[in-house]
Amino acid sequence: MEKTVVDIASPVGGGKFKQYVKDIINAEREPVRQIEARKGKESERLKLLQDFQGRVRKLPEVYRELDSFRKFRELKADWPAKDLMDVTVDKDFAETGEYQIEVTQLAGRHSMISDGYESPDDEVGVGYFTYRLPDGDSKSVYIGPANNTLKGIVDAINAQKHLGVKASLVNDGGDSGRPWRVVVAAEKSGMNNDIEFPDFYFLDGDFRFYVDDERSAQNAIVKFNGFELMSQGNKFQLLPGVTVDLKQAKEDYEFTLIITEDIAKIAAKVKALVDAMNSVLEFINKQNQIDQNTDTTRTLAGDSTLFSIESRVRTWIMESFNVTDPEADEDEVFMRLSNVGIQFEKTGLLSFKEEKFKKNMEANFDWVASLFAGDGNFIPNLKTLTESLLKPEMGIIGSRERGIRDRIRRMDDDIARKEANLTKREAALKRQFAQLEALTNNMQGQQQYLTQALGSPSLF
């Protein structure tokens, strides 16, 4: 009798029933596939929501530059004498105005130049390099045997970090045969920082080291609207928020410094805001473009939040905002954003008429600034809206995102649970079919044995 051999590696024996198991499990996996399809749609909605959130986050980045009068405005300085001075303006403190300027004198540092030497290595002897401060205090550097050359003096002075002077070794290019000199200059300019060099006494030197010439410290002198002003340095704050850096003096040359609003720069900030708003509106418009073939379960079409945002922006564009100073005793004035060149087009997006905006800015800067930054006006409203959308934990977008993520998490749990059940179901089916296959093989073996034992029936 032949033995029946069952393939131990496969619970389904020789594989006769493998396809049956595969087909059954595939059919029973249909609920899993349905959940995965719903999860895919939720994942697409999550990506869309994150895209929308990124666009909304851009709004505060832009409108923070416009949400107060000081932030809204930009200032610029204009003056003809660019070779005489540079000007920087701090918009938080400066005010507009015109001023007459004359740069009479630059600030200077006290400096000295020594007598000449044939070589930087000429010895000057041993002693002290000393100078006196305006308050009577003095500072010294010891020149010893190791550094008693012209070059050694320079190195010794510069090695002292808090000495207040810097030394240089220069070649004056003269034909005296003694071109090498030491120049020592104070680090700070202005008469308050003037110093005095006494006679120097160095022992056992080849030559006597002494001051050949000096230049006294001086203050910068600027005439401002005809009045003389002085500064210890060439860079100083001429007006609140207005810093000048003098480069050259030119007596009897008066010019006008003009501080004005930088309308072009303000327009660029407003355009950036319009672009950021259009990015949000473009997203909303795209989500709302649906037809009979659109699968709205994959999009944010019809989302009440999107509709609310678009509706509010449309309202604000057409709304009349009070632009007068609430503390001023004057008649109220109302303006719309469309009055300054911001309006909706047929595309559903905003356009920005820059020239119209600039013209209104030039006509009345305060009104336009108030239209954007005034209490209860456009940007405060936009700020309230974006905060409600982006507020941590309680924000609308964050809540929507958590809702989608929770649904996806529940779907993952459901899929994992069903997959575990399918794994058990598959193992059970394989055992059942393996037993069936073993039984079938055993019956076939018995049939073959009986056939061989009894032989073929005789024919009569």
Residue 183 carries which side chain, given as an amino acid letter?
Answer: V
Same domain? 69 vs 151: no
Same domain? 353 vs 402: yes
User: Is residue 452 domain-resident?
Assistant: no
User: Is residue 93 domain-resident?
Assistant: yes
Same domain? 57 vs 85: no
Please report the pLDDT score of residue 180 as a whole number. 94
Same domain? 303 vs 437: yes
Q: What is the pLDDT along the chain (460 residues), one digit of tens a residue?
A: 444 444 434 444 445 678 888 888 889 999 999 999 999 988 988 898 899 899 999 999 999 999 999 899 999 999 999 999 999 999 999 999 999 999 999 999 999 999 999 999 998 889 998 888 888 888 889 999 988 899 999 999 999 888 889 999 999 988 788 999 999 999 999 998 888 888 888 887 777 888 999 999 999 999 999 999 999 999 999 999 999 999 999 999 999 999 999 999 999 999 999 999 999 999 988 887 766 676 667 777 777 778 888 888 888 888 999 998 877 767 889 999 999 999 999 998 999 999 999 999 999 999 999 999 999 999 999 999 999 888 877 788 888 888 889 999 999 999 999 999 999 988 888 888 878 777 877 777 777 777 777 765 554 4
Query: Can you give the chain as a three-state secondary structure string?
Result: CCCCCCCCCCCCCCCCCHHHHHHHHHHHCHHHHHHHHHHHHHHHHHHHHHHHHHHHHHHHHHHCCCCCHHHHCCEEEECCCCCCEEEEECCCCCCCEEEEEEEEECCECCEEEECCECCCCCECCEEEEEEECCCCCEEEEEECCCCCEHHHHHHHHHHCCCCCEEEEEEECCCCCCCCEEEEEEECCCCHHHCCECCCCCEECCCCCCCEEEEECCECEEEEECCEEEEECCCEEEEECCEEEEECCCCCCCCEEEEEEECHHHHHHHHHHHHHHHHHHHHHHHHHCCCCCCCCHHHCCCCCHHHHHHHHHHHHHHHCCEECCCCCCCCCCCEECHHHHCEEECCCCCEEECHHHHHHHHHHCHHHHHHHHHCCCCHHHHHHHHHHHHHCCCCCHHHHHHHHHHHHHHHHHHHHHHHHHHHHHHHHHHHHHHHHHHHHHHHHHHHHHHHHHHHCCCCCC
Same domain? 196 vs 337: no
Which pair of tokens denotes residue 231?
Answer: 């500064």
Same domain? 233 vs 189: no
Number of domains the chain contains: 3
Same domain? 377 vs 402: yes
Please report the pLDDT score of residue 456 as a whole number. 56
Same domain? 281 vs 404: yes
Same domain? 62 vs 202: no
Same domain? 22 vs 41: yes
- Among the candidates 154, 189, 215, a domain finishes at 215
